[in-house]
Chains A and B, each alone.
Chain A
């Protein structure tokens, strides 16, 4: 930890501070996307950056996700460090060729000669009543592709440190922000620090069960852990922070210690992040497990609009509490 004052910032402020600091530090860092300049995005995450850095570095683009993502790939190859803003994670579908066939493969296909140091910032997360095309958590799609790194911060502190690390990384990094967390407050040091990609964080120490959770599911897991404590179950909450590179060791060690694990992630459960993390634990902690690893993700349905319908599609503190209690036989 740096020797600087600690303040409370929101998740959105932490993101903005990371961007501003990196833009001051490195003149090749620029932001591009839809309504990033005067509007500062619909979530106001980027408010104020245009005033400090100007239009050449905070670049409003047309609604052309494939076009400006592709442009960022080429700019990254030739000396810039673009940070692309994809307003809703649902729109990453429009960037697939640029990220999957271009950005992810340029370094390998060129025998290590060209590099693509770019960041794609985008959102995830349901329960904002935005229906099926503005609510998905599609990070697993990019986790599947060699050549990409995928980051899912869960706290303002991690968001700032991980984003700064992502911008300095020499590879294409996709950075998923849960839009329901933008107002979440937490301690964030002033000044420069990074959180390295590939290092998990134990958000709560416990003995009886491991809750591996990503992004906003960390808050859900922490809430469930408090409920579990009241019935005498001590839950450990582990946040991998980056899906790739993945800190397998910390996940396995925690599961070995507690002998039980639930994986929580807001992406679709089928063929998703929970399946990969469960496999890591099932393989690595097999002889220490007292129960099968349980997975909890989004229901396999398009996200519905109607609030009571939407609310049952993602894990909640209550459903996690019940699942953990059942897994512990209480």
Chain B
């Protein structure tokens, strides 16, 4: 880096990098606890872990303001945390408890929180593309300067509504960024078997500012996200960011025997060579922005924070059954 000549910017940047590192570790430790909860049969329903993809949520959300909007997916814990959700209320939601973000009515796949601009995780693949585009429409009409980010997996590339809303977003010059997380597997099928042609060209065909990035490199993700968010906020229209990444676990926690769709060696290679946290940590140490001990300290702090959050969620109360018919209508 050549920022030594600008000490103020350097210290701000270092602060940002350390915050991003911490946030990525927080997501990983959160998900490790989810895995544990599920394995111990304490968690009802399904859990789709974000482990391996942390750099995308963090890199993108660090380019957003708190009032900006995101929509998320069934694999959404990372996005929610990166946008500012608190782990204890998320765990409570995952366990169906009253103290959860949605009073237990949404669960793992539907965390929503107006306070952090989270319009909601969505369990329909591509289900939130319209919502994110609409939030950008409202932001433009109301002139509040907000930007909306739509996170989705490459599986959503098969849904027609994505192309409908990208067309609308470009026609109306809306401040929305479509962030495609290509983790290579559409559930249990390699994306090459489901995706014809060139992904980026699908966005450029509509005139979107489209870019692809190494989704394991949080600095790279953040840099491009900043550019796309900046131009969207400035009124220059929508963007599309293709992030190449990998999910370490199965499609969901119960997807253990995966060799019929991907080899173990492939998983191992991503984990050892392309881990976003390990590699970023290494870089921070090399640059003298952190040392190994301080990084280990970050991990142990977050580990115990997540453990405490889980414990309080496990101990928290379920909603009263009287709640079942509340909130159907506003």
Contacts and interface: CB of A to CB of B under 8 A. Distances in A.
Contact of B329 (A77, A82, A147): A147
Interface in A206-255: none
Interface residues of A, number: 43
Nearest to B137: A75
A149 B139 CA distance: 26
A128 to B, nearest CB: 28
Interface residues of B, number: 47
Given A66-B130, A70-B129, A108 B328 contact: yes
Contacts, number: 153
A114 to B, nearest CB: 6
A109 B113 CA distance: 11
Contacts of B132: 74
Interface of B: 69, 71, 100-106, 110, 112-114, 119-120, 122, 124, 127-139, 141-142, 144, 148, 160-161, 164-165, 167-168, 171-172, 326-330
Contact of B167 (A67, A108, A114): A67
Contacts of A147: 328-329
B127 A113 contact: no
Contacts of A80: 134, 137-138, 141-142
Given A102-B130, A112-B326, A113-B113, A78 B69 contact: yes
A56 B173 CA distance: 12
A110 B130 contact: no
Contacts of A71: 130, 133-134, 137, 165, 168
Contact of B130 (A56, A62, A70, A149): A70
A110 B134 contact: no
Contacts of B142: 28, 78-80
B330 A170 contact: yes
- Indicate the member of B102, B127, B137 with the most A CB atoms within 10 Å: B137
B130 A108 contact: no
B133 A70 contact: yes
Contacts of A28: 141-142
- Indicate the member of A30, A101, A106 with the most B CB atoms within 10 Å: A106
A79 B327 contact: no
Contacts of A115: 330
A78 B167 contact: no
A98 B164 CA distance: 13
A107 B329 contact: yes
Contacts of B105: 108-111
B102 A110 contact: yes
Given A77-B131, A97-B124, 4 more contacts: A28-B141, A28-B142, A70-B133, A147-B328
